[in-house]
Amino acid sequence: MNREKLINRTSSYHHQLHRGLGTKISVAPGRVNLMGEHTDYNDGFVLPTAIDFFTCVCGSLKEGSNVSITALDFDNEVDHFDLQDDILPHDDDIWKNYIRGAFYFLKMEGYSLGGCALTISGTIPKGTGLSSSASLEIAVLNTLSELFGLSLDNLKMAQIGQKIENEFVGLSCGIMDQLSSACGIEGQALQIDCRNFKITNITIPTSLSLMIVNSNIKRQLTTSAYNDRRRECQQAAEFMGAKSLRDITEKTFLSQKNCMPELLARRAEHIITENARVIKMATALRKTNIEEISSIMADSHTSMKNLFEISTPEIDILVNIISKFINVSGGVRMTGGGFGGCVVALLPASSVEGVRQQIQSQYPYQTGLKACIYLNQPTRGVETVQGIFS
Ligand code: GLA
């Protein structure tokens, strides 16, 4: 389903349910990261792009202080709460917490809210590391900002989104996903400095297709393993007397490496070299230096596999199948938080069909799983749009 159809579907359902006047509608994209994995919470650099999979949120004002939310993708399941009561996380239905969290933090920060009804639907494959949750947070926050005149800017929405994850959902993530969904630009990757949130646009060469392959691995214990990595990075930084790994140069690291616990040294080495790869990748993209792109992406994957230990055998198989086919005419690596999810490839359009065939014939044979292949466009960030009834 494309963006247009998603907006029509969500807004016509919303109209049937609420016949709301002055309905506000937001659409926020997912993201794929091209370089810089787990560097965001180390105050480092990332290079994501927003992609043309979206979450759409329609909202209408209601009398009183009741909030009702209908999730079209969860069999029209409804969540209700009263803004005058404490807003608490739901124990089982995790989707509800991304929205409850938005109300919770806006209320905590003193924004004036009121009763409303929201209807939500999206096209981002859930739980695959393409940021369906960040795009939900950003779309909800943008709709609430429009409904209640809160004037939240993109950075503020991203920061609240990150807080929802950290303090309401329990994932100690960085800010990359939320900033990508809020600030995406058509045709561009965003080089983000996660220390000061400065964004530099990097054009993705139009000669390269953006392919994402979903391994369809059921991700397990991802939250605890992710939070472990964050803690280990913090410990490594402290060991070297720094606030974060962003502040450690390769030279300092090499001088301290052998005194550190081996596990912490491996985690630190990934982050320090991955930060450098973001800068190199941005230059390689600018110059359309495909061989360089290929080699940086390969190094990044090896680092995630061996040093940060966030890949899986199935993801490695996908990376091998693709890299064997494209060789140095493109690049491929695992993308996102890890422990399953997707790989991302930048490859010539002429290789797309061949890669597809290789994946379809080899991946099920080697893993017993079927992969899903997506071709995406680098796209723009959250927008307020018109629906068919607004
Ligand atoms: C998840 C987190 C991000 C980031 C990536 C890994 O997507 O939400 O903040 O840390 O993993 O790069």
Report the alpha-carbon distance of residue 46 to residue 200 in Å, rounded: 11
Q: At what angle do helices 94-108 and 132-148 cross, to 10 degrees?
A: 40
- For atom 10 of ligand 1, which residue has the closest CA? 38
Query: Hey, where are the domains in the chain?
Result: 3-200
Q: At what angle do helices 132-148 and 154-163 cross, to 10 degrees?
A: 120
Q: Output the pLDDT for position 390.
A: 60
Q: Ligand 1 pocket check: which of 169, 173, 228 to mutate, most ligand atoms within 8 Å of Cβ?
A: 173
Ligand 1: centre distance to CA 304 (Å) = 13
What percent of the chain has pLDDT above 90?
A: 94
CATH 3.40.50.300 describes domain 3-200: no
Over its C-alpha atoms, the chain yields an Rg (Å, rounded) of 21
**Which regions of the chain are under pLDDT 50?**
none
Structure tokens at 257: 């490496």
**What sign does the CA torsion over 235, 241, 245, 251 have?**
negative
Ligand 1: centre distance to CA 129 (Å) = 8
pTM across the whole model: 0.97
Q: What is the signed CA dihedral for 351, 352, 355, 356, rounded to 10 degrees?
A: -150
Pairing of strands 66-71, 116-122: parallel
Q: Output the pLDDT for position 323.
A: 98
Report the alpha-carbon distance of residue 59 to residue 63 in Å, rounded: 13
Structure tokens at 319: 């990376």
Q: At what angle do helices 154-163 and 94-108 cross, to 10 degrees?
A: 120
Angle at 383 between CA 381 and CA 387, to 5 degrees: 140
- For atom 2 of ligand 1, which residue has the closest CA? 173
Q: Output the pLDDT for position 389.
A: 65
Ligand 1: centre distance to CA 265 (Å) = 20
Q: Output the pLDDT for position 252.
A: 94
Distance of CA 368 to the CA centre of its chain: 27
Ligand 1: centre distance to CA 292 (Å) = 24
Structure tokens at 273: 């070299």
Question: Is residue 177 among the annotated active site residues?
Answer: yes
**206, exposed or middle or buried, with CB in 10 Å at 0-12, 13-18, 19+?**
exposed
Q: Output the pLDDT for position 208.
A: 97
- For atom 1 of ligand 1, which residue has the closest CA? 337
Which ligand 1 atom minimizes the distance to the CA of 33? 12
Ligand 1 neighbours by CB, cut-off 6 Å: 33, 37-38, 40-41, 173-174, 176-177, 336-337
The total number of residues shown for the chain amounts to: 390
- For atom 11 of ligand 1, which residue has the closest CA? 337
Which whole-number Å values give the CA distances from 140 to 25, 60, 135, in the listed order?
9, 12, 8
Largest CA distance in the chain: 66
